Structure formats: structure tokens, C-alpha cells
Structure 1
Amino acid sequence: MATVFVTGGSGFVGSRLIARLIKHGHAVRALARSDAAAGKVKDLGAVPVRGDLADVAGLRAAATGSELAFHAAARTPGRGTRKQFWTDNVDGTANLVRAVREAGVQRLVHVGTEAALMNGQPLVNVDESAPLRPDSRAHYAASKAAAEQVVIKANGSLETIVVRPRFVWGAGDTMVLPELVDMVNSGRFAWIDGGRHLTDTTHVDNAVEGLMLAAERGRPGQAYFVTDGAPVVFRDILTELLATQGVSAPSRSLPYGVAKSVAAAGETLWRSLRLKGAPPLDYMSMWVSSRECTIDITKARAELGYQPIKTQQQGLAELR
């Protein structure tokens, strides 16, 4: 079995990935920025290596001896300036690519996202031919698009592959569902135009399945979308997710035009005054909450043999 180097191993996707790798008999080394992160990956069975994405030499040392690497670390949507997103997601990815290549790693699988295609437009049955949007108004989307460009461009002596799950959810989520519950409980939650648009989702186990298959079968230099297999109504899936936590989704709804104005004003105000935290509604949250995002996973099915391994009902039952 291979020795595998993982970044972001204490996160939602990364921790499930480490558990899967360990189960399959691989030896795992995991980058850890803090004592808490080191403790978590150690509990999963990985060897924690202290360091961060700003330190090329440290990354190279951590990856030495590994044949395969997974890059799951990223600054996630929400708080942060454009510079911070670029430093963490773009510069950090470039540092990792350089380090693993110099360490002799053979293949790098990068955790991408459909957000890399977003700049306010609906994404309707999109596939991997849709253009990346490093010019996106949303810092997260722009930085993830630029990071993916870095990864794909690096393909050569190092084999690089991107896997793009959409709306990752499931037991162990420490971000999306807890934030939704907090928004409802604090009275900050509202649908946009009723929330009746279609969206694809990816249970965390399905995301990990895609990553494992990409490591084994993915074509170098390629990107692959993975999802739960069929779109759902945004309002329906969020209502069911909230219900697993004993929370009832409110009926309050904002017109799209109002939400767009609120997001634009908030983004401008926070940027110009350099305010801390995040505006009440940012571009990324508005787009996810109001624009269709449906994904064609034909390529992953055909080239990776990908099939979802966890159904929506199974995932919801685990959350309850």
C-alpha cells in the first residue's frame, strides 16, 4: 500500500478521506497547523506533521517518501479579504505543488469545487468544459478557480487531477449545517425567491469516493465533477437538513433583486471600510441560495467508474 500525504486532514472532507485511506491500508502523513489539528489526525490513525502552506521547505519535508498527495486544505467561504483568500488558496496551492514535486510525489489530487465556475450566473447541467472564473466577484470562487488553474498547469512530471464536489454535506459537518441552524435560531435566515431552484449536492462519503477513484484512475491534467447523482430542490434539501437538528425552516423570503442589492452593498461596505467578519449577505451565499446549480457527472461515471455510494436518505438518517 502507498504512503499518502494529506493537507486539510482535520477538516470535514479531509478527515473522512484519512479514515478511508487508513481503512484501505495506506500509511498517511497529514499536515497540521495546530495542536488540535494534530490531535485529530492522529486519532484518525495518521501521522501528524506540523506546518502550513506558506512553508515550501516544510511541505517538501512532510511529503518526502509519499507516492500520492491529496490537497484538501483551503480557506472556505465566509470571512476573509481577497488577499487572504489568494494567499491561502492560490499561493498555498502553488507552494504545495512545488513541494510535492520536489519531494518526488507521483500524483496530486486536488479538492476543487463548482464554485470555481461561479460569477452570479445559473449553472445548468454544466460539465467540465465550462470555463473557470478567476475573475469572479466572490473571493472564494475566484481563488478556487485560480488554484485549480495552478494545479492543472503543473501537470507533467507531477500528475495532477482535480475533483469537484458540489455542496458537501453529511455527519461531521462543522460549517454549513451548524451555520444554517444558527441563522435560523438567530432570525437571520430567509429564502431568496422562495428557494425553489434546483441544486446538486455531494454527501461527504461520495466526495471521498470520487477522490479515491481519481487517485487510482483519473487522467492526469483533468477535472471531474462528483455529486449525489441527481439534483434536488434547494428549499427541500435545506429543510430536511435543518429538520435532522430539530429545527424548522422559516417561511420568510426575499426577492432576488433585494438580496442582490443587500449583497452588493455589504461587500462594498466591508471592503471599503475593511470591516472584520463577513457582511450579512455575501455574493457567494446569495448565488448558492438563489441560482440553479446542476451538474453533469457523465465524465466521472465513464472515466472513473464513479457511482454515489451514499444516498440522500442514508445521509439524512445519519444526521438525525
Structure 2
Amino acid sequence: MRIAVTGASGFVGGAVATALADRDHEVVGFGRDPNGWSHPRARYRSWDFVGGPLLGDRDFDAVVHCAALVDETAPRAEAMRINRDGTRTVIRSFRTTRFVHLSSAAVYDNLGANVEVTESQAGGTALCGYSESKAAAELEFAGTDFVILRPRAVYGPGDALLIPRILGQVRRGRLALPEGSEVRQTLTSLPNLVRAVECALRPGAPTGVYNVGDDTPVLLSAVLRELLARKGMGHVRITPVPFRAAFAAATALERTAALARRRPGTTRFAVAQFGRERTLDLTAARERLGFRPRPTSLDGAERW
């Protein structure tokens, strides 16, 4: 297949583009960085999709739209401009028989627990512009031949967001987390996300919206302890903070940061993500796409 991958200069997009090129698809990666991605058997083109439609070659069998602003501290208007309006531009730039859009489990209720949520349960309280914009982006696909994938907490080699953020919160040998993150969560390894994309690209794969993630939910605190140990930080202890106290503190930090026009040290979204159950029902992806995810694994995390 001839496949376009947006966001190829990023963590997820680069991994998807590389995996597809390795499997001998004809891949063209797109990104804002002029030198953002390379592969010996693929091409890379610079394109800021927020600036306007793609010019030139647009003849592809499929598009995998990975590009997004993943930042819950971003102003709502900026998140909407990139994630919703940018997605609209990408859709209009390609006339294809297959469009795979990488959305997010952030479209589910941000405040309450998500317990084995199904695809029909999107909505509820949104605690940031990122969540709102990813939900709005999904609405742009009405009337198109699409597959929408909703991963949660993507991790793996090259991650410059999730794992560095966790490790950056360590203070004096302690990692303070709401409820000590003693909660069940669905995580998504980069290889499992790539598997889901490949399933969505198969001829005849049914369109629709699909949760994707690792094979089974895990206890988040146990995964974080293993991560700390693998990163040579086994001495760090996880310190539980009551959810209400952590949420109140994050609310105050967000307000202060808004007045000072700077990024808050933590957010209500982050507190709710680390302190509430976040598990996804993967039945639809398993049964309709043939998705066969592997268990959560931190193998190789020492080098991430």
C-alpha cells in the first residue's frame, strides 16, 4: 500500500511510519520539522497542516493521522486549532479509501473513574482543552471511510512526554501521587499501538471507533515501581496523596499559572489520570479488527 503518515517527526508517528516502511509499504512521512524522520526505503515531506492543505502529490491508498498537540496545559483555542481544525485540513487534503485517525482515551470522562469503558461511553467532564479538541476532531470524520483508534497512555522508546514527566516529579527520593496510583489502568505500548494501526489498514477491516491498549489492565503503582527500578531509581518511594487534596492543589496551581501566564506544575487532568481507574474495553478491536495485543512490558526501559 501507499501510505501517508502525519506526525512522522513525533514519537508515535515516527514509530508507525517506521514500522509500515519496514513491512515494505510505500510510506511518505509528513511533519513540521524539515529533518524530522528518515527511513532508507521511505520519503519524508515537511508540511505544517495547520497552515493549509497539502500541495503536490496526494495520491495515497491510506492515511494514518498521528499528528497532534498532546499537552493538557495548552490553551483551548490552540488545542482546537491544531487538533480539530488541523484534522479537518488533513481530511480535506487526502481523498483516500482508508483513513486511520489516532485519537485518545482522553475523550472519556476526565474526572470520574473509567471502568472498562466501551467506545459508546465517550463524553462527560473535560478537564482540559486537549480532551475537548480530541473529541471535536473525531466529529470531523462524519461521512468518511475512517477508523478511529483510542489508545491510552502510550509508552515506549523515544517517549519524551509520559515517562520523563513521571520521573521529573521525583523529589528527595519520593514520588507523590494521588492515592499512590493504587488503581487499575489500561496502558498502551508503542508496539501494540502499531499492531492496531496495521489491523486497521488491512483490506476489508471494518470502519468505526476502537479502544486499543495492552492485553490486560495493570496496577499502575506496580508498573511505576518497576519503571523506577529499571531507571536506577529503586530507592524512590511512592507517597500517596488523598485525591481531593491533590485535585484542590492542582486547581490552585492552574489558576495561579493562568494569572502568571505560565505552565502549572501539575494539572487537574494529570491528577485524575493518575488517581482514578482508567480501563478500556478492547472487545470491539479484538473481535472486529482482529487486534491481538501483548501484555504491558517495560523490557528495555533502561534505555528509553
Change in Cα spacing, 1:316 to 1:137, as seen in structure 2 (3 Å) is closer
Instruction: Note if 1:140 corresponds to 2:130.
Output: yes
Change in Cα spacing, 1:267 to 1:224, as seen in structure 2 (3 Å) is same
In structure 1, the partner of 2:163 is 177
Instruction: Note if 1:48 corresponds to 2:52.
Output: no
In structure 1, the partner of 2:18 is 19
Equivalent residue of 2:231, what SS? coil
Shift of 1:154: 4.1
Instruction: Note if 1:296 corresponds to 2:281.
Output: yes
Shift of 1:251: 2.9
Instruction: Note if 1:286 corresponds to 2:280.
Output: no
Alignment of 1:80-95 (within 5 A): 80-95=74-89
In structure 2, the partner of 1:72 is 66
Shift of 1:166: 1.4
Which whole-Å CA distance do the structure 1 matches of 2:32 and 2:174 have between them? 32
Alignment of 1:251-266 (within 5 A): 251-266=238-253
Amino acid at match of 1:144: K
8 Å contact kept, 1:15–1:44: no
CA RMSD, 1 decimal: 1.9
Which whole-Å CA distance do the structure 1 matches of 2:55 and 2:243 have between them? 47
Identity of aligned residues (%): 29
8 Å contact kept, 1:9–1:73: yes
In structure 2, the partner of 1:130 is 121
Which whole-Å CA distance do the structure 1 matches of 2:176 and 2:168 have between them? 12
In structure 1, the partner of 2:32 is 33
Q: Which runs of 5+ in 1 are unaligned?
A: none
Aligned counterpart for 1:61 among listed residues 46, 49, 56: 56
8 Å contact kept, 1:116–1:142: yes
Amino acid at match of 2:281: D
Which whole-Å CA distance do the structure 2 matches of 1:297 and 1:311 have between them? 13
Instruction: Note if 1:107 corresponds to 2:98.
Output: yes
Which whole-Å CA distance do the structure 1 matches of 2:249 and 2:171 have between them? 21
Which whole-Å CA distance do the structure 2 matches of 1:93 and 1:23 have between them? 26
Change in Cα spacing, 1:5 to 1:109, as seen in structure 2 (3 Å) is same
* Superimposed CA distance per residue, residues 86-114 of structure 1 (whole angstroms, 9 cap, x where no aligned partner): 111111111111111xxx32211000111
Indicate the structure with greater helix content: 1
In structure 2, the partner of 1:235 is 221
Shift of 1:116: 0.9
Instruction: Note if 1:96 corresponds to 2:90.
Output: yes
In structure 1, the partner of 2:140 is 150
Q: Which runs of 5+ in 2 are unaligned?
A: none
TM-score, structure 1 length as denominator? Answer: 0.88
Which whole-Å CA distance do the structure 1 matches of 2:255 and 2:173 have between them? 24
Shift of 1:44: 6.1
Which whole-Å CA distance do the structure 1 matches of 2:40 and 2:240 have between them? 42
In structure 2, the partner of 1:317 is 299
Equivalent residue of 1:125, what SS? strand
Instruction: Note if 1:201 corresponds to 2:187.
Output: yes
Equivalent residue of 1:22, what SS? helix
Which whole-Å CA distance do the structure 2 matches of 1:207 and 1:186 have between them? 35
Shift of 1:61: 2.9
Which whole-Å CA distance do the structure 1 matches of 2:90 and 2:260 have between them? 29
TM-score, structure 2 length as denominator? Answer: 0.92
Shift of 1:35: 2.9
8 Å contact kept, 2:72–2:129: no
